[in-house]
Amino acid sequence: MFCIKCGTQLPEEANFCMKCGHPQTPVVTQPPAEETQWEHCKIDCIQVKEKWSLFGKEILQFVARKEGCPDHIAASKTFQLSGFEIGCPSEKSKLHRTTLQELVDQLKKDSWEPSETRPSVWYRLQFRRR
Ligand SMILES: [Zn+2]
């Protein structure tokens, strides 16, 4: 490569010209930081009730809570596990996932969008909204 100012031949990786000192890489100006305030919400799975009968029953709820004010519930979905599902992990997780999907759809309809953060637990999805 050649210096963009004086034309001196420079090594390819040169950041500055060895002769005139002119920087060889244009200075990238960062666009101003986005000032939009995002609302955040996080999904949690809570156990509402555990009522064991002959067939077993467990009531669970996926709750999307707004960060900063845990009393504000953006959306929630309750679902019930029967003894059959509790005894069968694949059925149990199928029910978990369909319920979670319903909650996600509800949030999206409400203009929440998934934020980039990878959840630490699979159901702990995070959403944000302007
Ligand atoms: Zn130069």
Tell how far the Cα of 29 is from the centroid of ligand 1, in angstroms.
Answer: 22
Task: Mark whether 78 and 106 lie in a shared domain.
Answer: yes
pLDDT of residue 71: 82
Q: What does the pLDDT average to over 43-59?
A: 75
How many independent structural domains does the chain possess?
2
Is the model's pLDDT at 15 over the cut of 70?
yes
Q: Helices (DSSP H) in 44-124: which residue ranges?
A: 83-87, 89-109
Among residues 111, 56, 108, 64, the alpha carbon closest in space to that of 80 is found at 56
Task: Mark whether 6 and 58 lie in a shared domain.
Answer: no
Task: Mark whether 52 and 112 lie in a shared domain.
Answer: yes
Task: Mark whether 82 and 20 lie in a shared domain.
Answer: no
Task: Mark whether 3 and 24 lie in a shared domain.
Answer: yes
35 against 100, higher pLDDT = 100
As a whole number of angstroms, the distance between CA 106 and CA 111 comes to 9
pLDDT of residue 76: 92
Tell how far the Cα of 82 is from the centroid of ligand 1, in angstroms.
Answer: 76
3-state secondary structure of 41: strand
Q: Are 42 and 124 in contact (CB under 8 A)?
A: yes
25 against 4, higher pLDDT = 4
Tell how far the Cα of 128 is from the centroid of ligand 1, in angstroms.
Answer: 48
Residue with tokens 């060895």, as numbered in its chain? 18
Tell how far the Cα of 30 is from the centroid of ligand 1, in angstroms.
Answer: 26
In terms of residue numbers, what domain contains 14? 1-30
Task: Calculate the average pLDDT of the chain.
Answer: 84
Tell how far the Cα of 2 is from the centroid of ligand 1, in angstroms.
Answer: 8
Task: Mark whether 81 and 49 lie in a shared domain.
Answer: yes
Task: Mark whether 19 and 78 lie in a shared domain.
Answer: no
The dihedrals phi and psi of 55, each to the nearest 5 degrees, come to -100, -5
Most confident stretch, 25-29, 38-42, 106-110, 121-125: 106-110
Q: What does the pLDDT average to over 35-41?
A: 82
